[in-house]
Structure formats: structure tokens, C-alpha cells
A = this chain, B = another copy of it.
Amino acid sequence: MNIPHKNASVVPKPDNSNLVKIVEGRNEHNQPVKVPVVTEIPLTIFLNNQEIVTTMSLGDWPDYLAVGFLKNQNMLNDNDIITGIDVDDDLGVVVVRTQRETDYEEKMKKKIQTSGCAQGTQFGDMMDAVGNITLDPDARIHTSAMMRLIKTINTMPSLYLSAGAIHGCVLAEGDNILAYIEDVGRHNAVDKIAGWMRLNHITGQNKIFYTTGRLTSEMVIKTVQMQIPILVSRSGFTHSGVAMAEQTGLTLIGRARGKRFTALTGCERIIDDHDDDRADDLGDDQGDDQGEKTSPQRAASRS
């Protein structure tokens, strides 16, 4: 029996009581209910002796989150030697130490001018960072493997299934899940994957990145920074995300649910090999996601 996710190094742990609290409330019939609710706690990231950021996070994998965040902000270079990562759960602090002395005082001053509240962070900087990245032109995604991958993601135990209100990201090779990580912040989930890759020396080439979140400009930039050529989401697109995917040569596949999807850029990497008859029971037909709703209007727009 093929259980692809059994090979994954990191998978969600929905039974971890640190990540889910049971809260009592009332339902629509005014009856008492107990619902599982995901945790959301502040984590402050230091690079050596400099406080960089405080982010609201699920709380697991602070080491991956810190390393991935610093990497995606270009504060940690590919050839930096990490000499230690100290986590203090009580204080909610993680310190990443490098051999190289670091000082991002100037960069952080610049951040004042451009960083957005929940949107648009360090936009110019990040576009600079992806300008010279060439994504693997030979990478391929088979539609049959993609559908198996999505089915696996949607059926394996996760906080997404048990509690909701959370985003998940998956790094995969074909239909094999290498890492599946969740967080209350969709960008935190991406950064955790980036940190896991950095610390485990995993490259993005010929990998597939799956997210439950929307395909915005920031999501595209981070995927390209990780040098992953194919980005798949159950959610939809923004126009800026599509434009940047086009510009960077990323394969962008959205609204991927069950046996349906829409690819807007990099379609040459997609190999259509799925069999409609076999694809009937691939799960995930019920769910809509962030800002996503199947509507008569949208269906009609398919040509």
C-alpha cells in the first residue's frame, strides 16, 4: 500500500495539545459546544544580538520559522554558517547565531519606509532578490501525481482538518510529501518550509510547493526565492501574483481541488496524464478556501 506521506520528515501534529485549545461556547441552537481552536502566540526572532521581528505564530518549529524568515528576508545568506539556534519557549524568543557578524540596522531602517501591515513587506528588496534566479526549465509535474498529492494532503491528519483557521504548506517531489507544515500565518508556514529546507540542505529544484493560501505576489516571490519551479494552491490568484510568475518563469497552478485546477503560467511544465475515470474519488471536492467560492459566474467564465 502506497502511503506517500509516511516518508515525510515533518508532518502536522493535530494531537499536540500545545497547538490546540478546547474552548467552550454556544452553537446556533443556543446549545453548549466545545470547539478546538489553534494557538496563536508571539515569537520574537533575533539574528545574533539584533532583534528583528515579532510574529504571531502557531508556536511549533520556531527554529525553522526563524531561519526561513531570515533567509527569505535576505538576512541569512546561502553560505552563512549557522553556529547555533536557541529557543526559549517561555519568553517566546528564538535566536539564530551565525559565524558572520551581522548588522541589519540600515536594512531595517529602510523597512520602515516600505513594510506593510500584513501586506507588501519589503517588496522592492524581494523583487531584487529574485531577479537573478533561474527556475529549472526541465522540471515537470504530472497531473496524475498532482491529484494524488492533493488527495494525500487533504486526507492526512492535520490541524487544518481538526481545528481549521490555519494555513498549510507542503514541499513535495512528485506525489511524495517531503514536509507538511502549518501555521496561523500563511507566510509563516512558507518560512517554516524554507527554514526546514535550509537546515536539511534540501534544494528547491524539481520540487513542487503546495499552499492552502492565495497566489499573491508575495507567495510567488517566496517560492522563487526557494528556487522551486512549480507552485500549486487550492486557492485563487491575484493579478500581481500571475504577473510575477510570468516574469520569473514559475509554473502557477491555482484552484486545485479534487480533479480540477487552473494553470495560468508555465504550462509547459505540466504533463497531462490523468485518467478521468480513475480520478473520481480524489477527495477535496467540498472545500472552498480563502475568498474562494464556486459560483455560476465563475464557472461561466471558463471558455
- Inter-chain CA distance A119–B41, complex, in Å, is 11
Indicate which residue in B38, B186, B236, B293 contacts A118 across the interface (CB closer than 8 Å). B186
Question: Is A129 an interface residue when CB atoms closer than 8 A count as contact?
Answer: no
Question: Is A176 an interface residue when CB atoms closer than 8 A count as contact?
Answer: no
Number of interface residues of A (CB under 8 A): 102
- Using A56-B218, A118-B121, A185-B119 as known contacts, say yes or no to A262 and B33 having CB atoms under 8 A apart: yes
- Inter-chain CA distance A73–B118, complex, in Å, is 13
- Inter-chain CA distance A116–B184, complex, in Å, is 13
Chain B residues in 8 Å Cβ range of A143: 28
- Using A35-B301, A287-B288, A302-B34 as known contacts, say yes or no to A293 and B164 having CB atoms under 8 A apart: yes
Q: Are A293 and B161 neighbours in the complex by a CB distance under 8 Å?
A: yes
Question: Is A60 an interface residue when CB atoms closer than 8 A count as contact?
Answer: no
- Inter-chain CA distance A290–B143, complex, in Å, is 25
Report the stretch among A1-9, A82-90, A130-138, A263-271 that lies at the interface: A263-271
Q: Are B239 and A21 neighbours in the complex by a CB distance under 8 Å?
A: yes
Question: Is A148 an interface residue when CB atoms closer than 8 A count as contact?
Answer: no
Chain B residues in 8 Å Cβ range of A162: 295, 297-298
Within the oligomer, what is the number of copies of this chain?
Answer: 2
Q: Are A56 and B115 neighbours in the complex by a CB distance under 8 Å?
A: no
Q: Are A302 and B27 neighbours in the complex by a CB distance under 8 Å?
A: yes
Chain B residues in 8 Å Cβ range of A267: 25-26
- Inter-chain CA distance A25–B270, complex, in Å, is 12
Question: Is A289 an interface residue when CB atoms closer than 8 A count as contact?
Answer: yes
Q: Are A272 and B116 neighbours in the complex by a CB distance under 8 Å?
A: no
- Using A55-B119, A239-B21, A303-B33 as known contacts, say yes or no to A216 and B40 having CB atoms under 8 A apart: yes
**What is A's interface to B at a CB cutoff of 8 Å?**
21-30, 32-42, 51, 53-57, 69, 73, 108-109, 111-123, 143, 160-168, 184-188, 212-218, 235-242, 254-255, 259-265, 267, 270, 272, 274, 286-295, 297-298, 301-303
> What would 14 A/B residue contacts be, using CB atoms closer than 8 Å?
A27-B262, A28-B261, A36-B298, A40-B240, A53-B115, A56-B119, A73-B117, A162-B298, A163-B298, A164-B291, A165-B237, A166-B291, A184-B238, A290-B290
